[in-house]
Amino acid sequence: MILRYCYAEDGYTHHGDKIPDVPVVHLALRVGRYLARGLAIVDTGFDGGVYPNMDVVKLFRGVKPVKVVEFEHPAYGICEFEVYQAEVFLYHGGVYTELGLGNVYIPVEPELISEEVLVGREILNKLELTLNARRMVTVVKV
């Protein structure tokens, strides 16, 4: 199965320069009976599985983390993250493609929670992924 996702626009700087568009996939996470679905930025620089936004963090209320780890955050240095597990899916055209269990890394410090969801190498390395910037498309073979 081949899934194609259009790059997402990233807007403009305060000087009016266009920020390059970003490769994304539509990711879905299931925790118990809860499901979150939306765009996730493809981030090959993130060692983990999923770096959540606040909507994803809410899925884990009342759930105990699997472990606590440290990652180097580009702006804040070494930071602690609680690791949770979720069922991970790619979502495309109303169809969910299961990728198995994946780790979600929730920063202990709330100010490190971003507005975007990032999907990192822990999940990306399970896929055959092509980033085509000229055509502005992410192609995933599953």
Q: Quote the DSSP letter at residue 109.
A: S
Taking alpha carbons only, the member of 10, 20, 87, 92 closest to residue 50 is 87
Instruction: Convert the pLDDT of each residue in 15-48 to its tens digit.
Output: 999 999 999 999 999 999 999 999 999 999 999 9
Whole-number Å distance between alpha carbons of 12 and 97: 33
Please report, in angstroms and rounded to a whole number, the separation of the first and last CA atoms in the chain: 5
95 SS3 class: strand
Instruction: Convert the pLDDT of each residue in 68-126 to its tens digit.
Output: 999 888 888 999 999 999 999 999 999 999 999 999 999 999 999 999 999 999 999 99
Place 60 in a pLDDT band, splitting at 50, 70 and 90.
very high
pLDDT at 142 over 90: no
2-141, which class in CATH?
A: mainly beta
